[in-house]
Amino acid sequence: MARMHSHRHGKSHSTRPTSKRTPNWVSMSSDELESTIVKMAKEGTGPSQIGQRLRDEHNVPLVKTVLGKSIAEVLQEKKMNPSMPEDLERLLRRAQHLQGHLKAHKGDRKNVRSLELLEAKVHRLAKYYKSKGTIPQNWKYSAVVAQLA
């Protein structure tokens, strides 16, 4: 798959398990897995980090095969889902960091362009989440929002 703002292809990465069945070497039961997810969420860990920790520390390759639902669905059932989607929050944090860099280095034209591309991603993703109903319809991105996030 091609990258969004360039003519290159994306980086190679690890692939998800192909089987839809739970592997026989997974030792956690579904109740233990749910309680572990809730415990990690209370510590402030995001859904993607929860999945990585479950994979690396608890030998659970894919939560959906064990529980039949994703980590985000488990957090939503327990009313622990974050107010802002994780990917949008990360983009806002990157924009804030880049704005701080540009305040210190005003002549950095390359990063001015990368901030424009980053803000385009924020607008595109916000439009999607507004149509899905995840964020409020009156939510609007601005440089002030990025500094407060």
pLDDT in tens, 50-99: 999 999 999 898 999 899 999 999 999 999 988 889 999 999 999 999 99
Helices (H), ranges, the chain: 30-42, 47-57, 63-67, 71-77, 86-104, 109-132, 143-148
What is the pLDDT, as a whole number, of residue 107?
87
Tokens of 57: 């520390």
What is the pLDDT, as a whole number, of residue 2?
56
- For residue 149, is pLDDT > 60? no
Does the domain spanning 86-148 belong to CATH 1.10.357.10?
Answer: no
Q: What is the pLDDT of residues 19-42, one digit of tens each?
A: 888 888 888 888 999 999 999 999
Percent of the chain with pLDDT over 70: 91
Q: Where are the domains of the chain?
A: 30-77, 86-148
Output the CA–CA distances (angstroms, integers) from residue 11 to 5, 18, 104, in the order listed. Answer: 14, 20, 31
Output the CA–CA distances (angstroms, integers) from residue 103 to 97, 107, 111, 115, 118, in the order listed. Answer: 10, 9, 11, 12, 17
